[in-house]
């Protein structure tokens, strides 16, 4: 082989390696995301409706990025979808995320990381049983609907409330009365009064829907018991954020824009919620919920360590972060979270 041909082959090989390296370093052009049914997921609904991720990805030089959205509820379902490789980013209850973070910590292929907080609100424990005035009034005959047993947001917050009422050793006192049922189905069951469901621990808008019925009374408000702590977060596989740093930051920027939009345009945010969720409420009802100071949307985590401390004492997680910031990406760690 003469030197001219050798040089051509060498240059060709170098170009091929360069192209391969470029492809290997390229960020994803499709993102698979999920959100739940209720108002806790409103920022994600706004991002979906206004294509904000696509907007910020393009501004970051990533070109045209496609987003594929799914509606999923219940921590176990979301965690399974994430670990099986069917989701890249998801909104979920803080306890479900913490559970998965604890289990996967130190396992590179399974590790997850928080992208930020999503929402705070008050969970209401509503009942159709007039004899129930407090947690102490529940009997084995009563059934409390929650989206998932033991690990869902409602399940863990109910345990935390029970620990305050009955003492920590009795945090699971109400667990035998809980029944796994999605929020929309639980609303129908509670209001019908024809099923075993006598209570529902739920979030907006479902809690408000139930409260309109004069037969329904509120037994518990989570904010009155635990304070206005972060209920839902957004998270991803840690490997995804490492491989897609610009896309990860584009997501955060999109979420910040969605939060600003909700604060600025309550009417528009309510319209978005009704369009995406397809829940049968009036515009005025949704706007009234958004005006409730308990309903807040921020990427800064608040009260996350309350969950960690409780779940650690309860034995539901083994590996515990020393600080809240261990659970989240670097850009969130400088926030005044807790």
Beta carbons within 8 Å of 72's beta carbon, 6+ residues apart: 34, 35, 36, 78, 81, 90
| 71 or 134, which is more confident | 134
330: number of Cβ within 10 Å: 11
For residue range 181-209, list pLDDT tens digits in order. 989 899 999 999 999 999 999 999 999 99
Express each pLDDT in 86-108 by its tens digit. Answer: 999 999 999 999 999 999 999 98
Beta strands at 66-71 and 30-35: parallel, antiparallel or unpaired: parallel
Q: What angle do CA 284, 130, 126 make, to 5 degrees?
A: 40
Binned at pLDDT 50, 70 and 90, residue 74 comes out as low
pLDDT digits (tens, 9 = 90+) for 36-73: 889 999 999 999 999 999 999 999 999 999 999 998 87
Alpha carbons 8 and 305: distance in angstroms, whole number: 61
Predicted pLDDT of residue 20: 39
pLDDT digits (tens, 9 = 90+) for 140-179: 999 999 988 887 899 999 999 999 999 999 999 999 999 9
- Give dist(CA 261, CA 334) in Å, integer: 23
| Helix H or strand E segment including 145 | strand 143-146
Closest CA to 202 of 150, 157, 234: 157
Helix (H, G, I), strand (E, B) or coil at 136: helix
What average pLDDT does the segment 296-310 reach? Answer: 96
Specify the range with the lowest mean pLDDT, choosing from 22-31, 60-69, 166-175, 278-287. Answer: 22-31
User: Comparing 5 with 78, which gets the higher pLDDT?
Assistant: 78
Is residue 262 classed as helix, strand or coil in its secondary structure?
helix
Q: How high is the pLDDT of residue 136?
A: 97
pTM of the model: 0.88
Q: What is the pLDDT of residue 25?
A: 54
Torsion of CA 48, 52, 56, 57, to 10 degrees: 30
Q: What integer is the mean pLDDT of 273-279? A: 93
Mean pLDDT of the region 79-87 = 87
Angle subtended at Cα 109 by Cα 106 and Cα 111, rounded to the nearest 5 degrees: 50
Residues 6+ apart with CB under 8 A from 220: 124, 125, 134, 135, 161, 201
Following CA atoms 44, 97, 303, 185 in sequence, which dihedral angle do they give, to the nearest 10 degrees?
Answer: 60
Rounded to the nearest integer, the mean pLDDT of the chain is 91
pLDDT score at 3: 41
Q: Are 111 and 235 in contact (CB under 8 A)?
A: no
Under 8 Å between Cβ of 128 and 216: yes
Distance of CA 301 to CAs 37, 137, 326, Å? 21, 34, 12
Q: Is 90 exceeded by the pLDDT of residue 128?
A: yes
Residue 2 has pLDDT above 50, yes or no: no
CB 160 within 8 A of CB 306: yes
Are 264 and 335 a contacting pair, CB within 8 Å? Answer: no
């Amino acid at each position: 082989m003469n030197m001219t041909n050798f040089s051509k082959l060498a240059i060709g090989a170098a170009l091929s390696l360069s192209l391969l390296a470029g492809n290997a370093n390229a960020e994803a052009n499709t993102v698979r995301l999920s959100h739940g049914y209720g108002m806790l997921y409103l920022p994600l609904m706004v991002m979906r409706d206004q294509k904000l991720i696509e907007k910020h990805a393009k501004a970051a030089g990533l070109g045209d990025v496609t987003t594929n959205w799914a509606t999923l509820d219940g921590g176990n379902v979301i965690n399974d979808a994430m670990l099986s490789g069917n989701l890249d980013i998801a909104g979920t209850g803080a306890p479900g995320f913490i559970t998965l973070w604890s289990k996967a910590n130190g396992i590179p292929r399974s590790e997850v990381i928080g992208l930020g907080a999503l929402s705070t609100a008050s969970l209401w424990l509503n009942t159709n049983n007039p004899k129930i005035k407090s947690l102490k009034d529940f009997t084995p005959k009563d059934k409390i609907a929650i989206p998932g047993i033991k690990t869902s947001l409602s399940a863990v917050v109910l345990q935390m409330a029970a620990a305050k009422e009955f003492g920590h050793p009795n945090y699971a006192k109400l667990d035998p009365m809980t029944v796994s049922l999605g929020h929309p189905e639980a609303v129908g069951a509670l209001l019908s009064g024809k099923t075993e469901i006598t209570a529902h621990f739920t979030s907006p808008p479902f809690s408000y829907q139930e409260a309109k019925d004069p037969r329904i009374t509120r037994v518990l408000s989570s904010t009155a018991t635990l304070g206005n702590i972060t209920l839902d977060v957004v998270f991803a596989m840690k490997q995804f954020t490492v491989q897609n740093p610009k896309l990860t930051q584009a997501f955060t920027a999109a979420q910040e824009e969605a939060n600003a939009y909700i604060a600025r345009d309550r009417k528009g945010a309510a319209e978005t919620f009704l369009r995406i969720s397809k829940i049968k409420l009036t515009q005025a009802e949704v706007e009234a919920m958004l005006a409730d100071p308990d309903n807040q949307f921020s990427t800064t985590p608040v009260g996350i360590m309350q969950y960690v401390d409780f779940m650690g004492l309860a034995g539901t997680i083994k590996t515990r972060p020393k600080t809240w910031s261990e659970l989240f990406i670097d850009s969130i760690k400088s926030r005044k979270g807790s």
